[in-house]
Amino acid sequence: PEAWKRDQWGGWNCPRWSPDGSKLAVVNWDLVLGGFGPHGYEGVLYIANSDGTALIELADTNSCAAWSPDGERLVFSYQGTLYVIDVATRKRIALIQLSPETFQLTWSPDWSPDGTTIVYETDDAIYELDIGSLRVTRLTDLCQGCDYDNPRYSPDGQQIVFAWILGVEGSRNGIYVLHRDGTHVTWLHSGVLPTWSPDGRHIAFIDS
């Protein structure tokens, strides 16, 4: 569609289907600024119909976005705060600031299948946010100075897969899976950007 060609930045990324497959959320990164902005990569969150028509700008973002299970909202981060936005009204609600003292970047929050929690990563760990109480639970404590990436709930919501990259010397980078309560952390394979198959039996990833 013509609207996609009139892009001033040229960095379309993070495509995410809505649960019913009728919509697509996508982020347009500022490739000129790159990762040197005050909060990491700067971009704009859009939604469109599944065929690419009706491209609508929703909000500025520093992360990819994830759909709520009912397909009515998206979660993303901007300037160190997690937000939820209603795709119909475009009303944005701040959930929590990711760090009490400094802004931190989260690339890829994910919404649990039951709609009650959001998992996200910051500079030092993977956390789970209870949406009702806004209580935050730290799920990982593998090492200081590590870089966690792309946590994703399994379809049944019982496990979380993630990548661990740029760890300290002697650490084992790659794809890990853990129970939702943060226990039973298991290394699976080298790689990045893991995601579950719809039936939860397989994990796709990019082998690094």
Q: What is the pLDDT of residues 76-109, one digit of tens each?
A: 998 888 999 999 999 999 998 876 555 555 668 9
> Which one, of 42, 26, 124, lies nearest residue 79 by Cα?
42
How many Cα atoms occupy the beta-carbon half-sphere of 94 within 13 Å? 7
| pTM for the structure as a whole | 0.85
pLDDT for 152 beyond 90: yes
Which of 33-37, 85-89, 139-143, 181-185 has the largest mean confidence?
A: 85-89
Mean pLDDT of the chain: 83
- The confidence score (pLDDT) of residue 206 equals 87
Give the range among 5-19, 41-55, 67-81 with minimum mean pLDDT. 5-19
